[in-house]
Chains A and B, each alone.
Chain A
Amino acid sequence: MSAQTQYNNLVLQTLAQIGRCGLFLLQILAAIPLSLRHVRETLRQLWFVGAMSLTIIMTCGLFVGMVLGLQLYHVLAIFGGSSATGSVVALSIYRELGPVVTALLFAGRAGTSITAEIGLMRATDQIAAMEMMAVDPIAYVAAPRFLAGLIAMPLLCCVFCAMGIFGGHLVGVNWLGIDNGTFWSNMTATVDVWQDIINGVLWKSTAFGAVVALIAVFQGYTTPPTSEGVAYATTRTVVASSIAILALDFVLTAFLM
């Protein structure tokens, strides 16, 4: 009985949280015209959220590409198809690994810092101070970070994919000895711009960017203004973003394929 009640409460709380998050998104969207006055702030956030994440994204992209090259080469060799390594590396990066891994890294690197920053701003009354200075904190704090996430994710994902292809090329061609021309011609023969790059890389990563940025901003904005609250909110950002990314990935893949 009590387990049942607890379960019901959990479901209700989760639903309420999703509902609040949705309403918060509406608030942000409504504040976007106002936040266009703070273009400079959006650019500054783009620097923190995007440019500062480049190192981790590039490093991870390189290694993901290298691992894929190594694994796929040997698997494909069983079927005598190791010349297809280039195309399989490219397809798996474009369609799945690029957007998903970039989004997970983005949630860990940028999402948590957004949550912690906004949470601390709340804990130290900076949000209240903005309201007191007649500055709408949704327009000045939430919306620029949301926009920055929305813009940074696809760009980061493109960089990740490029590094992944480079890593796959490094392992496949320079190390395992696939012919350079074969590697590229196989890749260019199978990768379709619309299906794989526009749908796979750009749309997916933009959607992921919106989800991660929304969750991060929301968690930071609604956290209890204590150091404990900020710590929990940061953890919740990673957990909720990861679940949302993978669930959304399934839905988007089903729609875009």
Chain B
Amino acid sequence: MIDTVQAKLDDRALVRIRGLTTVLNGKTVFDALDMDIPRGKITAIMGPSGTGKTTLLKHITGQMRGNRGEVQVDGLNVPALPRDQLFSLRERIGYLFQNSALLTDFDVFENVAFPLRQHTRLPEVLIRNIVLTKLQAVGLRGAASLMPSELSGGMARRVALARAIVFDPMLILYDEPFVGLDPIALTQVLKLIRTLNDTLGITSVLVAHELAAIKEVADHVYLIANGKVVAQGDPKTIADDGSPWTRQFFGGEPDGPVPFQYPAGDYAQALGFKQGAA
């Protein structure tokens, strides 16, 4: 039964996660999680804070390993890959960090050129052309000589994006790409994600909270909570599927399946009242 489902998905899914279980510091982050990221589409992963969305991206890149289960990227089982194969897989994955993670020692040009210099022996002219092309794509060719400290948050994120696509990857992982951006910068990044996906045929995975932005850009949405996928589907209709999770999350309700109160002992007892005496 399961086999047939997998076989049907194989040609479409670039990333396949099966039965992923991860326990960190005694807390179960993922509990037999299953997920498929379709090829060539923009997939958004949403969920309440602390449900391990960034952790999930780290599993896809092999920075973290689960206790059980499979994470397959382009047919390769990531947790079982030896280091050199993992590194060659990572060369085909772009990763956009939440805080851009530009190398502070280098200017914008060298930051984008960094992966090229590390992995290729291309002539300087070619490196220059590739870097300027990528910078032009994100609209920052004129900022090539600035240092990262001179960039605004939105510009830094676009430089990081240019760096992430410098090898024309098959997959880009965006970790909270919209946080802290003003509406203009947010629209710019949105447009870039869409354009890159359409023109280069890149598969994109977005981790974000901004429902409006997701609705605009994503083709498919996963909502994860308590270590499982609790809802999935088209971003425009997912809020209407009627489950308590989607109602609370997309409706922005303070209490629901995600409790307002952090788990605690009995309130009356903590205040010193005898049980039943109050």
* A binding-site residues for B, Cβ under 8 Å: 44, 120-121, 124-126, 128-129, 131-136, 140
- Among A120, A131, A133, max chain B CB count under 10 A is at A133
Contact between B97 and A129 (Cβ–Cβ < 8 Å)? yes
Contact between B88 and A124 (Cβ–Cβ < 8 Å)? no
Contact between A132 and B61 (Cβ–Cβ < 8 Å)? yes
Given contacts A120-B104, A124-B101, contact A129 B95 (CB under 8 A): yes
Q: Which of A128, A132, A140 contacts B93 (CB 8 A)?
A: A132
The reply on B98 being an interface residue by CB < 8 A is yes
- Residue pairs across A and B with Cβ atoms less than 8 A apart, 12 shown, are A120-B104, A125-B98, A126-B102, A126-B103, A132-B90, A133-B90, A133-B115, A133-B118, A133-B163, A134-B88, A134-B90, A134-B91
The reply on B250 being an interface residue by CB < 8 A is no
Contact between B104 and A126 (Cβ–Cβ < 8 Å)? yes
Residues of chain A within 8 A (CB-CB) of B97 are 125, 128-129
Separation of A44 and B98 alpha carbons in the complex (Å) = 28
Given contacts A131-B90, A132-B63, contact A126 B101 (CB under 8 A): yes
Q: Which of A120, A125, A134 contacts B119 (CB 8 A)?
A: A134
Contact between B90 and A124 (Cβ–Cβ < 8 Å)? no
Q: Which of A129, A135, A136 contacts B101 (CB 8 A)?
A: A129
Residues of chain B within 8 A (CB-CB) of A121 are 103-104
Contact between A128 and B104 (Cβ–Cβ < 8 Å)? no
Task: Tally inter-chain residue pairs, CB-CB below 8 A.
Answer: 48
Residues of chain A within 8 A (CB-CB) of B105 are 44
Contact between B101 and A128 (Cβ–Cβ < 8 Å)? yes
Q: Mark B90-116, 1 if CB is under 8 A from A, else 0.
A: 110101011101111100000000110
Contact between B61 and A125 (Cβ–Cβ < 8 Å)? no
Q: Which 3 A-B pairs have the closest CB atoms?
A: A125-B101, A129-B101, A134-B87
Separation of A129 and B159 alpha carbons in the complex (Å) = 13
Closest to A136 in B: B87
Q: Which of A124, A131, A140 contacts B63 (CB 8 A)?
A: A131
Contact between B104 and A135 (Cβ–Cβ < 8 Å)? no
Give the size of the chain B interface in residues (CB under 8 angstroms): 21
Separation of A129 and B98 alpha carbons in the complex (Å) = 11
Separation of A184 and B114 alpha carbons in the complex (Å) = 53
CB distance from A75 to the nearest CB of B (A): 49
Separation of A126 and B105 alpha carbons in the complex (Å) = 11
Separation of A247 and B95 alpha carbons in the complex (Å) = 45
Contact between A135 and B95 (Cβ–Cβ < 8 Å)? no
Separation of A207 and B118 alpha carbons in the complex (Å) = 31
- Among A120, A129, A135, max chain B CB count under 10 A is at A129
Given contacts A132-B63, A133-B115, contact A125 B90 (CB under 8 A): no
CB distance from A53 to the nearest CB of B (A): 18
Residues of chain A within 8 A (CB-CB) of B87 are 134, 136
Residues of chain A within 8 A (CB-CB) of B91 are 133-134
Residues of chain B within 8 A (CB-CB) of A140 are 118
Closest to A40 in B: B117
Residues of chain B within 8 A (CB-CB) of A133 are 90-91, 114-115, 118, 163
Separation of A44 and B103 alpha carbons in the complex (Å) = 14
Separation of A199 and B105 alpha carbons in the complex (Å) = 37
Separation of A60 and B115 alpha carbons in the complex (Å) = 41
CB distance from B210 to the nearest CB of A (A): 21
Residues of chain A within 8 A (CB-CB) of B103 are 121, 126, 129
CB distance from A126 to the nearest CB of B (A): 5
CB distance from A76 to the nearest CB of B (A): 50
CB distance from B61 to the nearest CB of A (A): 6
Separation of A198 and B138 alpha carbons in the complex (Å) = 56
Separation of A124 and B115 alpha carbons in the complex (Å) = 18
Separation of A135 and B119 alpha carbons in the complex (Å) = 8
Residues of chain B within 8 A (CB-CB) of A126 are 101-104
Q: Which of A120, A132, A136 contacts B95 (CB 8 A)?
A: A132
CB distance from B176 to the nearest CB of A (A): 12
CB distance from B52 to the nearest CB of A (A): 16
Residues of chain A within 8 A (CB-CB) of B95 are 129, 132
CB distance from B163 to the nearest CB of A (A): 8
Separation of A121 and B148 alpha carbons in the complex (Å) = 13
Separation of A91 and B187 alpha carbons in the complex (Å) = 70
CB distance from B46 to the nearest CB of A (A): 21
Residues of chain B within 8 A (CB-CB) of A135 are 114-115, 118
CB distance from B96 to the nearest CB of A (A): 10
Residues of chain A within 8 A (CB-CB) of B115 are 133-135
Residues of chain A within 8 A (CB-CB) of B88 are 134
Closest to B93 in A: A132
Residues of chain B within 8 A (CB-CB) of A131 are 63, 90
Residues of chain A within 8 A (CB-CB) of B114 are 133, 135
Residues of chain A within 8 A (CB-CB) of B63 are 128, 131-132
